[in-house]
Amino acid sequence: MSVSTPVWDCHTHIYGPYDRYPLPKEAVYVPEAAPFDALRAVHGSIGITHGVIVQAANYGPNHCALLAALDAGKGAYRGIAVISPETSDEKLAMMADRGVKGIRIGLMSHLG
């Protein structure tokens, strides 16, 4: 594989840092923090150059951590959002402009 060939991680989640991106009180689970900077360091150490960050169910419709990660990734990452019928077209357009390219449909009741 040539150095210029992108290497993708096609599904990952980020959590935290919780002082900046806290989980809601009603979160269905509370994992250890796994912030974007840590993910990017792991990716760099094993040669992954791009990734898809999937909105974790425990964050619900709060995409602050995801959007901050996409901004910090400077185009090397894409996002998958969790939306609801109340999600406006304007919010969808804003998220698309920042790298969200798909939605997550949750059919597992234990994840809310």
Residue-wise pLDDT for 6-42, tens only, equals: 999 999 999 999 999 999 998 888 999 999 999 999 9
Class (C level, CATH) for 8-111: alpha beta
Per-residue tokens: 68 = 């901050």
φ, ψ for residue 43, nearest 5 deg: -55, -45
Residue-wise pLDDT for 49-89, tens only, equals: 999 999 998 898 899 999 999 999 999 999 999 998 899 99
CA-to-CA dists, residue 30 to 12, 49, 56, 111, angstroms: 16, 28, 11, 12
Tell me which residue has tokens 């959002």. 81
What are the residue boundaries of the structural domains of the chain, listed by start?
8-111
